[in-house]
Amino acid sequence: MTCRLRDKRIFVTGAATGIGAAIARACVEQNAAVCLADIDLAGAQRLADTLADAGHEVIAVECDIAERASVEAAMSEARRALGPLTTLINNAGQNVFHEPLTMPDEAWRQCMTIDLEGAWHCSRAVLPDFLAQGGGVIVNIASTHAFSIIKGCFPYPVAKHGLIGLTRALGIEYAAQGVRVNAIAPGYIATPAVDAHWKRFDDPAAALAQVETLLPPGRLGRPEEVAMTAVFLASDEAPFINASCITIDGGRSAVYHD
């Protein structure tokens, strides 16, 4: 077992599936103690049981990031089980895509609450711990939607732009107290949510193939490829990286046009 995250106690939201689950696995493999937080407690618990059976220190907690009280209760449970938290990985989110003028008001509230305010709820709950300890790390899982727009995806890019703003603002605000706040912007990653997206098309295989032709490597990214960047940012190997965003999209955002 490697030990890049020895003595780290990490709270991962949206940890039951997809990128969150890959981050949880990568963190425990680097010797961190990890709390798998998810609104789907049963799913988080299944993964926690698997990781615990392999000898890792993990717990699962129910957490609805849209509710501040739920976040605070989940973090309290994590502290009791693992000790003071050193790291927060804000991964939980939800795709909310509409045409702006036909979008229901509730869709706007849902998107902002889950994709932006949820990260703030979690950050606000853990920052006092970090300040008392003299340091800590927050990693926000943003999206290439934070700087590139696809028609029909409103208001998701608005929330993700806001998440980059939150990353930069908190990173600068608390840098002198030893807190680092960074973001990761994944592009097309092969997650259950993305798989479900293809199934909405009449020919899912053709829809996937069309997108793959747009990506310089000719394939979607893998959750594990995002997870290892999260490990790097959470580790002591990145002490001077702060208020920054690392893009993981195979180079797609560097392409001028097709």
Tell me the two tokens of residue 175. Answer: 């840098």
Cβ 240 vs Cβ 144: under 8 Å: no
Q: Is the pLDDT of residue 43 over 80?
A: yes
Work out the widest C-alpha separation in the chain, in whole angstroms: 54
Using only C-alpha atoms, what is the Rg of the chain? 18
pLDDT at 12: 98
Question: What are the structural domain ranges in the chain?
Answer: 9-190+223-254
Strands 33-38 and 9-13: parallel
Mean of all residue pLDDT scores within the chain: 96
Confidence band (pLDDT; 50, 70, 90) for 156? very high
Confidence band (pLDDT; 50, 70, 90) for 200? confident
Q: Say which amino acid occupies 101.
A: L
**Nearest of 14, 41, 12 to residue 26 by alpha carbon:** 12
| 36 phi and psi angles, rounded to 5 deg | -90, 105
Round to whole Å and give the CA distance between 139 and 92. 12
Round to whole Å and give the CA distance between 234 and 211. 31
Q: What is the pTM of this model?
A: 0.96
Tell me the two tokens of residue 148. Answer: 């590139």
Neighbours of 58 (CB within 10 A): 27
- β partners of residue 58: 34
pLDDT in tens, 71-101: 999 999 999 999 999 999 999 999 999 999 9
Round to whole Å and give the CA distance between 168 and 182. 7
Cβ 92 vs Cβ 13: under 8 Å: yes
pLDDT at 149: 92
Round to whole Å and give the CA distance between 5 and 2. 8
- β partners of residue 11: 35, 88
Q: What is the mean pLDDT of residues 159-172?
A: 98
Q: What is the mean pLDDT of residues 218-236?
A: 98
Q: Is the pLDDT of residue 3 over 70?
A: yes
Any idea which fold 9-190+223-254 has? Rossmann fold (3.40.50)
> Residue 122, CB half-sphere, CA atoms under 13 Å: how many?
36
Q: What is the mean pLDDT of residues 113-121?
A: 98
Tell me the two tokens of residue 12. Answer: 């991962």
> Residue 96, CB half-sphere, CA atoms under 13 Å: how many?
23
Q: Output the CA–CA distances (angstroms, integers) from residue 253 to 15, 33, 63, 196, 250, in the order listed.
A: 27, 34, 33, 23, 8
Round to whole Å and give the CA distance between 53 and 35. 15
Confidence band (pLDDT; 50, 70, 90) for 197? confident
Confidence band (pLDDT; 50, 70, 90) for 1? low
Is 156 annotated as catalytic?
A: yes
Q: Is the pLDDT of residue 244 over 60?
A: yes
DSSP 8-state secondary structure symbol assigned to residue 115: I
